[in-house]
Amino acid sequence: QVQLVESGGGLVQAGGSLRLSCAASGLRFSINGMGWYRQAPGKQRELVASISSVGSTNYADSVKGRFTISRDNAKNTVYLQMNSLKPEDTAVYYCRPLGYNSWGQGTQVTVSS
């Protein structure tokens, strides 16, 4: 059973930074692509960044140049470094192995103006 534990969220002022972490278990982490998603109140969950098993990355246009996804296969952990945060980045952030239908509890990110 896949388990995902997200952490690192919090309240930050616009322009600030946060680093999210997601520890995964129950799967062969190193061979799976991973994604970070977010869901703002009243909006659909969206994919904001993904990283392949070999480290290739993709970003939503809204976060390109501000967010960086990375992974540590030795720790079964994927990270999301978020810089230059904006109020519109406020959401619950989730990680998920690409192709799986498993979700963690998410971590709340709130950006004040």
Q: How far apart are CA 17 and CA 53, in angstroms?
A: 26
Backbone phi, psi, residue 92, to 5°:
-90, 130
According to the model, what pLDDT value does residue 103 have?
Answer: 92
Confidence band of 37 (pLDDT split at 50, 70, 90): very high
Confidence band of 22 (pLDDT split at 50, 70, 90): very high
Average pLDDT in the chain: 96
* Residues contacting 36, CB < 8 A, separation 6+: 20, 22, 47, 48, 49, 50, 67, 69, 78, 80, 93, 94, 95
Q: Of 18, 11, 16, which is closest to residue 79 (Cα–Cα)? A: 18
Q: How far apart are CA 62 and CA 6, in angstroms?
A: 21
According to the model, what pLDDT value does residue 56 have?
Answer: 97
List the single range of 29-33, 57-61, 83-87 with lowest mean pLDDT. 29-33
